[in-house]
């Protein structure tokens, strides 16, 4: 008889990976299944990277509870797992009189949710904090922050792996059957047995739930497009700047977000779409973003745009819905042992670890699991040479000369960092895998200069040219010899 896991988690986005990490605090057997070639391939790898303080979500909702708790937990988790994070603060800016009432509402809602330090500031104070921002008043939230969403997802999964979780990438769940005391989870790479199944499949959570007969919710994809500005524009803003959120739509509006690496994101839009895989960006969508962003930041005359991307929200309601559909975090009574973590839209990145901790604690009790005495709570990431003072760089280069060879000049990423990314614990070898682990190819040239250097390095490291791919199978970079 094949092994029966205590817990099988479906989907290695930030939620599934956080559950895997939290479960690895206990002595249970855990399997994390992901259909893509890497983690952070869904919404977890295409968002604003904001640690929300928790004033945008209705009091008493799961969103509010997990948001506020998650933001607190991230302070510790980011430090333990070497994830770049910064509490820059956020401004929600009113452009006209009628929006002032909304600022007061957000402040009161935030305070009821347990958010500290919220203050409504005048036009003068707004100008002092952010001289380039237009507005008549603002809500200032000093405890909002930014985090690298890729590193958070990767770090949670890597730490779970080093604490004994089995992780299978490229393993899509196609069917689930319920037996008396366990589930059989079918994939194209074999069948796995588990006592509990956790559905953290993001946009596909409705499809996974339907596999065990649960059809009470449908995931509605809602695309959000973004522009990315070059780091040269970083002086425009110090903190996140949001408009007063639209009353309809349950979205936060087009905002300006300085990223942890010094770029500025403009977006996201909110567009109801039919195809869950349709991550294209569109001329009209991007045009609207610029128009809306200029209302807040008129200095954005000819922005230094280096790229665009989009992320898809797993909404449970149409964007025109007036209100807030809550997260589904539910041990399903009709299918004993099946747990849905669905509709985890924003603030899901902030909330993920809090959701995971609660789920893991309840499974610890149900499965009577003991503590994992050898739990490693720390993870060391790849050294970020660019952030080090010159003396430290010099000392690193003396120890390993590859630190002195820059393969990506825009982002100042050394050959050593790229080699370390290539040797990542999850065994991901795609160009995107290297990109999200190092930032190589994310700068002004978008890989035009460093891409070929990295391909050359991969070949020198023994990877067959036919196997060099952008994002897993069916995305080969090289098709044959020209000479
Ligand atoms: C535009 C946008 C902006 C956002 N901004 C923020 C923000 O600033 N702050 C914040 O807190 N939150 C933000 N969010 C929300 C946050 O990104 C999500 O809540 C979070 O990433 C959800 O994580 P997840 O793990 O549930 O889903 P995902 O990251 O989508 O992961 C689900 C995984 O399941 C896998 N999967 C699907 N089907 C199967 C299958 N059959 N078998 C195996 N695996 C499967 C997928 O490949 C995917 O990797 C934003 C979201 C979007 C879209």
DSSP code for 469 = B
DSSP code for 387 = G
Q: What whole-number distance in Å separates Cα of residue 203 and Cα of residue 201?
A: 6
Q: What whole-number distance in Å separates Cα of residue 162 and Cα of residue 24?
A: 9
> Is beta strand 406-408 parallel, antiparallel or unpaired with respect to 413-414?
antiparallel
Q: What whole-number distance in Å separates Cα of residue 443 and Cα of residue 440?
A: 7
Q: What whole-number distance in Å separates Cα of residue 372 and Cα of residue 402?
A: 38
For the entire predicted model, the pTM comes to 0.97
Strands in 11-83 per DSSP E = 30-33, 50-51
Mean per-residue pLDDT over the chain, rounded: 95
- Are the C-beta atoms of residues 225 and 289 closer than 8 Å to each other? yes
Residues 284-335 pLDDT 10s: 988 999 999 999 999 887 778 999 999 999 999 754 555 568 999 999 999 9
Q: Work out the average pLDDT over 47-67.
A: 97
Atom of ligand 1 nearest to the CA of 257: 8
Q: What whole-number distance in Å separates Cα of residue 278 and Cα of residue 270?
A: 13
Pocket test residue of 47, 205, 253, 256 for ligand 1, highest count of atoms within 8 A of CB: 47
The 10 Å Cβ neighbour count of residue 360 is 23
CA-wise closest residue to 309 among 291, 346, 282, 290:
282
Residues with CB under 6 Å of ligand 1 are: 10-16, 33-36, 41-44, 47-50, 52, 172-173, 200-204, 208, 224, 268, 311-313, 344-350
50 Cα: distance to centroid of ligand 1 (angstroms): 14
Tokens representing residue 404 in the block: 């002195």
Q: What whole-number distance in Å separates Cα of residue 339 and Cα of residue 177?
A: 14
104 Cα: distance to centroid of ligand 1 (angstroms): 31
What pLDDT does 98 receive? 93
Atom of ligand 1 nearest to the CA of 187: 42
169 Cα: distance to centroid of ligand 1 (angstroms): 16
Residues 113-142 pLDDT 10s: 999 999 999 999 999 999 999 999 999 999
What pLDDT does 248 receive? 63
Q: What whole-number distance in Å separates Cα of residue 94 and Cα of residue 101?
A: 9
Bridge partner list, 94? 137
Strands in 48-199 per DSSP E = 50-51, 85-86, 90-94, 119-122, 137-141, 145-147, 166-168, 173-178, 183-187, 190-199
> Is beta strand 190-199 parallel, antiparallel or unpaired with respect to 338-342?
parallel
Residues 335-371 pLDDT 10s: 999 999 999 999 999 999 999 999 999 999 999 999 9
Atom of ligand 1 nearest to the CA of 45: 29
Tokens representing residue 375 in the block: 């739990």
Percent of the chain residues topping a pLDDT of 70: 97
- Residues marked active site are found at 52
14 Cα: distance to centroid of ligand 1 (angstroms): 7
């Amino acid at each position: 008889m094949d092994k029966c896991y205590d817990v099988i988690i479906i989907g290695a986005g930030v939620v599934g990976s956080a559950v895997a990490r939290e479960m690895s605090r206990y002595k249970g057997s855990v399997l994390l299944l992901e259909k893509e070639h890497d983690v952070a391939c869904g919404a977890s790898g295409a968002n604003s990277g904001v640690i929300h303080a928790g004033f945008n979500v209705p009091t008493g909702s799961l969103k509010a509870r997990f948001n506020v708790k998650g933001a607190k937990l991230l302070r510790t988790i980011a430090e333990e797992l070497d994830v770049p994070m910064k509490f820059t603060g956020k401004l929600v800016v009113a452009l006209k009189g009628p929006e002032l009432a909304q600022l007061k509402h957000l402040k009161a809602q935030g305070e009821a949710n347990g958010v500290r330090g919220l203050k409504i500031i005048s036009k003068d104070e707004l100008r002092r904090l952010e001289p380039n921002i237009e507005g008549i008043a603002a809500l200032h939230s000093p405890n909002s922050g930014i985090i690298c969403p890729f590193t958070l997802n990767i770090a949670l999964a890597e730490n779970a792996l080093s604490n004994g979780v089995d992780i299978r990438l490229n393993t899509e769940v196609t069917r689930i059957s319920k037996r008396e005391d366990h589930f059989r989870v079918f994939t194209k790479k074999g069948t796995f047995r588990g006592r509990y199944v956790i559905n953290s499949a993001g946009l596909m959570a409705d499809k996974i739930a339907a596999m065990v007969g649960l059809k009470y919710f449908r995931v509605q994809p809602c695309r959000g497009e973004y522009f990315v500005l070059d780091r040269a524009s970083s002086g425009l803003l110090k903190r996140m700047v949001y408009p007063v959120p639209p009353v309809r739509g349950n979205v936060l509006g087009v905002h300006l977000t300085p990223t942890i690496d010094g770029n500025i994101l403009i977006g996201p839009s909110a567009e109801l779409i039919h195809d869950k895989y349709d991550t294209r960006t569109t001329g009209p969508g991007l045009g609207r973003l610029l128009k809306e962003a200029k209302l807040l930041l008129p200095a954005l005359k000819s922005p230094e745009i280096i790229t665009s991307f989009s992320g898809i929200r797993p909404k449970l309601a149409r964007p025109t819905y007036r209100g807030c559909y809550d997260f589904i975090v539910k041990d399903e009574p009709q299918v004993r042992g099946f747990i849905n973590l669905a509709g985890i839209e924003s603030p899901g990145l902030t909330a993920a670890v809090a959701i995971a901790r609660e789920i893991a604690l309840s499974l610890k009790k149900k499965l009577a699991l003991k503590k994992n005495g050898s739990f490693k709570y720390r993870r060391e990431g790849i050294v970020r040479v660019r952030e080090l003072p010159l003396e430290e760089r010099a000392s690193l280069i003396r120890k390993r000369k590859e630190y002195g060879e820059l393969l990506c000049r825009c982002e100042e990423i050394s050959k050593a960092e790229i080699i370390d990314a290539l040797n990542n614990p999850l065994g991901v070898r795609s160009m995107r895998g290297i990109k999200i682990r190092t930032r190589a190819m994310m700068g002004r040239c978008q890989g035009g200069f460093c891409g070929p250097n990295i391909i050359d390095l991969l070949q020198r490291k023994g990877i067959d040219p036919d196997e060099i791919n952008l994002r897993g199978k069916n995305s080969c970079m090289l098709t044959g010899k020209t000479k």
